[in-house]
Amino acid sequence: MKRKLVYVMSLRNAAADKAGQWVAYKGERRYMMSPLEYLVHQLNDSELGNLYSLEALIYDDIADYAADQAKLGSYGRAGRDGSPWIYPLDLCVQGRPVNELLENIPSTYRSLPVGDPARSSGKQAFEQRLQQRFQALEADWVVLDGLIVILDELVRPGAPFQGRIVNIHPGLTRQDSPYRRRGATATLDALYGARGQQILNWQTMATRAVTPLNKTGASFHVVDQGIDSGPVLWEVLNTQIEPDDTILELRWKNFTHSLFPALSHGLAYLASQPQGS
């Protein structure tokens, strides 16, 4: 029996990557395939399609929140009138249009001012809505990709989906790895690291000199209540960094050489484990 996957993401993160678009790359143009589109191709064309079914694609962006709409830009029109979208509009997964799987469960608490006491209860309500939807879909595994939210209630010890939510992260997350790059700035951290710099404060851009590291990778890990701190199921360290890379050039390389393999091998590993393990 196929295991049921639910995919959760922030569209604004995919928009920042120029997902689904052709981007400048070393004087050429290359297609920026998103992890979601890569997964769809794997489910259509590889053994993963015999192991999993994709049940839903949930995104947390807030339709009437100006900050989210500014980050989405023209992606906010979802491909209408020739506007960009994160995957080809005719993309299908296992015979079903991907657009039919799209669902919005907005993390509306983020629109409240920092310090507003309602943010905490709003975050709990958001995670409860996610859990209810996962349960209704009878999800076996939930894959996070660029979800710009730190989960708490969903992954606390004893929660129904604790240990069943995994994340694909564009950096190594093992605590003991010299290439460890956790958090939302993982790709930028790697790029500056290749230049022998560590950013100490992203507001002031204060730096300190470090030994240059010219490689980065990706991790497929279980989600816990920390920031990319859960147990690593699969990692790939196969992306060479050139100091003159742009952020999008490095993003393209890391997707292609490390993150996509980590995603496919990680899912294959999960499928090899006993149900409920």
- For 32, residues 6+ apart whose C-beta sits below 8 A from its C-beta are 17, 18, 19, 20, 21, 22, 23, 248, 251, 252, 255
Contact call for residues 104 and 59 (beta carbons, < 8 A): yes
Selection from 14, 15, 34 nearest residue 252 by Cα: 34
- What is the C-alpha separation between 132 and 265, in angstroms, rounded? 29
Cα–Cα distance measured from residue 169 to residue 101, given in angstroms and rounded to the nearest whole number? 23
Residues of the chain with pLDDT under 50: none
pLDDT of residue 80: 83
Residue 22 phi/psi, 5-degree rounding, is -90, 130
- pLDDT for 277 equals 53
Sign of CA dihedral 150, 152, 153, 157: positive
Region of 245 on the Ramachandran plot (φ > 0 left; ψ -120 to 50 alpha; else beta): beta
Q: Identify residue 71 by its one-letter amino acid code.
A: K
CA distance 257 to 240: 9
Q: Residue 51 has what pLDDT? A: 98
Give the pLDDT confidence score for residue 124 in this predicted structure.
96
Distance, CA of 268 to CA of 275 (rounded, Å): 13
Backbone torsions φ then ψ of 201, nearest 5 degrees: -150, 115
Classified by CATH at the fold level, domain 3-175+216-272 comes out as Rossmann fold (3.40.50)
